[in-house]
Amino acid sequence: MAGLATSLGAGAATNSLAQMHDIDTIFLFGSNPTEAHPIVSIHLKKALKKGAKLVVGDPRQTWMARRADVWLNLKPGTNIALINGIINVILKKGWENKEFINKRTEGIEELKAKVKEYDLKTVEKITGVSQDNIVEAARLYSQAKNGMIVYGLGVTEHNSGTENAMAIANLALVCGQIGRPSTGIMALRGQNNVQGSSDLGPLPATLPGYQSVKDDSARAKFEKAWGVSLSSDIGLKSVEMLDEAIKKRFKGLFILGEDPAQTDPNVHEVRHALESLEFLVVQDIFHTETTKFADVILPGASFAEKDGTFTNGERRVQRVRKAVDPVAGKAEWEVISEIATRMGYPMHYDHPSEIMDEIASLVPIYGGISYGRLEKESLQWPCPTKDHPGTTTLYRPPGNDNALHRPVLKAGRACEIYPPGPETLRRNCRKGISLHAYYRPDTRALQ
C-alpha cells in the first residue's frame, strides 16, 4: 500500500543541507523544492548564484526546470529508464569514477551488462527526453567536482519507489559522487518527523534504532532495560492490523496523531476496519475523520505545548520546546506513560529529557545525544558517544572516520542505499543486479 513511504521510511539523507552551497552540479529529480521545500530551495539557489550547474528531471516545468542547464522533461513513470540510460552513457564515455568503483564497490560488470539495454535511442523512446539532453546531463553530473542528487517524491511511481532509489544510488556510486561534502543523495520528504519516527522504531520489525526484533542480542538489551520479555515475532503492519480488524481478529487500536480514515488511499476499507474494531482510542489535536470512529478521543498537545525533539531530513536532532501549556493539561508522553502505568507497567518520566536519555542508552545512533548537549550544539546522527560531534556526511572513505559510518558497498541483490538496518534492507531487496550500499553501524563497538 504505502510502498513508497515504506521504502523511504528508513531513508536518511547522506549529507547536510548547508553543504548545498558548494555543489558544482545539482541533479534535482522529481522534486519542486521552490514550493514544497522553500528553505531547501534557498540553499540550492545560493549554489546556483555561485555558478552551479543544474540538471532537472521532472515532467513539470517547475521554477527550477525553467532555470536548468538541462531539463529532462521525462514522461511520468519513466525515471528508471532515464537514470539507467544516463549511467549507460557515463560508462560508455568513460566518465565513471574508476578509482571509486574499484575501491568501494563491487558488481560493476553486472551493472554494465544491465544498463546496456538502455541505449540512447531506446531511452529517448521510453522517456521522451532527447539524446543530447541525456548525454549533457550525464556529463554535467559525472564530471562535476561535487555533484549532489536531490530528489523528491513528485514523480516516483508508487510501486517502484525502491527501484528508483536504487537506480539513483547506482548513479551516484558510479560517479563516486558520495562520501564527500556537497555530494551524495538528499531525499526530500513531507512530514516534519518522518526521519525520527522511523529512527525510533514504532515499526513492526524493528526495535528503536533499526535493531531487529529477531536479533537476540538487541532484544536482550531492551529486555534488560525495560524489565520484560519481548516478542521476537514481527508485528503487524498498519495495513495488516486493519485487515485483521475486518476479520475480527484484531480488536483494539491506539492511533496517535494520524488520520488514516482521511489520508489512506483505501479510505473505504480503512473506515470499515475502524468500525470493526472493538475499541479504538484516537489522540489528536483536532477532530478528524478518524476520531469519528473512536470510542475514546484524547486531546493532543501541539508542538508549542510540549518538550521533545524532531529529527529532520538530514538526520539532525533538534529541540521542540514548550512555549505554552497543553490545552487539555497533558502532553502525549504523559498520556502514554499513564496508560502503561494503569495497565500494570509503571512508566514514569519527569521530563522528556529523561526519555531521550533512555533512547541514548538503547539506540546507538542516538547514543551521544542529550538535551544538555542540544542546548549548546547541533547534532546529526550517527552520534554514538557523548564526545562524538555527530556526522554531517555519511559514507566517508574508510579510515577517514570511525567504524560507525564506514560504508559497505557491494554487489549482489540490489538494495537501496538508504540506511540502515538489516530488516529494512531485507524488506527492500529486489531481485536484479546492481551496486548497493548500506550503512551498517558496528554496534558492538558501542556497547
Partner 1 sequence: MSDKKLKITINGKKALCGKDETILDAAKKAGVRIPTLCYDERLEPYGGCRLCIVKVKDVHKPQPACTTRVKDGMEVFTETEEVRRLRKNILTLLLSNHPNDCMTCEATGNCGLQSLAYEYKVDGKRFAGETWDLPIRDDNPFIVFEPNKCILCGRCVRICNDVVMAGTIELTGRGFDSLPDTAFGKPRSLENCEFCGQCVSTCPTGALLDKKGMGKGRPYELTKVKTTCSYCGTGCNFFLNVRDGKVVKVTSDYDAPVNQGNLCIKGRYGYDFIHSSERITAPIIKKDGKYVEATWDEALDLIAKRFAEILAKHGPSSLGAFSSARCTNEENYLLSKLVRTVFKSNNVDCCARV
Q: Least distance in Å: CB of 36 to ligand SF4?
A: 9
Told to check if 311 binds partner 1 by CB under 8 A, we report: yes
Question: What does the binding site for ligand SF4 look like in residue numbers (CB under 6 A)?
Answer: 37-39
Residue 189 binds partner 1, judged by CB under 8 A: yes
Site string for partner 1, 90-129 (x = CB under 8 A): ----------------------------------------
Query: Which of the ranges 80-88, 193-201, 403-411, 433-441 carries the binding residues for partner 1, by CB under 8 A?
Result: 193-201
Phi and psi at residue 74, in whole multiples of 5°? -70, 155
DSSP-assigned letters across all residues of 75-96: PTT-HHHHHHHHHHHHHHHT-S
Q: With beta carbons less than 8 A apart as the criterion, state whether 169 and 417 touch.
A: yes
Angle among Cα 441, 442, 444 to the nearest 5 degrees reads 135
Q: Closer to partner 1 by CB, 95 or 226: give it.
A: 226
DSSP state of 397: P
Instruction: Kindly compute the dihedral angle of the four CA atoms of residues 81, 36, 320, 329, in this order, to the nearest 10 degrees.
Output: -110
Least distance from partner 1 to the Cβ atom of residue 174, Å: 28
Contact 373, 386 (CB under 8 A): yes
Q: Which part of the chain contacts partner 1 (CB under 8 A), choosing from 38-46, 82-90, 115-123, 419-427?
A: 38-46
Q: 166: closest CA among 382, 438, 444, 447?
A: 438
Which of the choices partner 1, ligand SF4, none does residue 422 contact, using the CB cut-off of 5 to 8 A by kind? none
CB of 85 to partner 1, least distance (A): 27
State the nearest-atom distance from the C-beta of 53 to partner 1, in Å.
Answer: 17
Q: How far apart are the first and last CA of the chain?
A: 37
Touching partner 1, residues 220-279 (CB under 8 A): 222, 226-228, 230-231, 233-238, 241, 244, 249-258, 260, 263-264, 278-279
Q: Which does 263 bind (CB under 5 to 8 A by kind): partner 1, ligand SF4, none?
A: partner 1
CB of 192 to ligand SF4, least distance (A): 7
Q: What is the largest CA-CA distance in the chain?
A: 68
| Distance, CA of 174 to CA of 114 (rounded, Å) | 14
Residue nearer to ligand SF4 on the CB measure, 37 or 271: 37
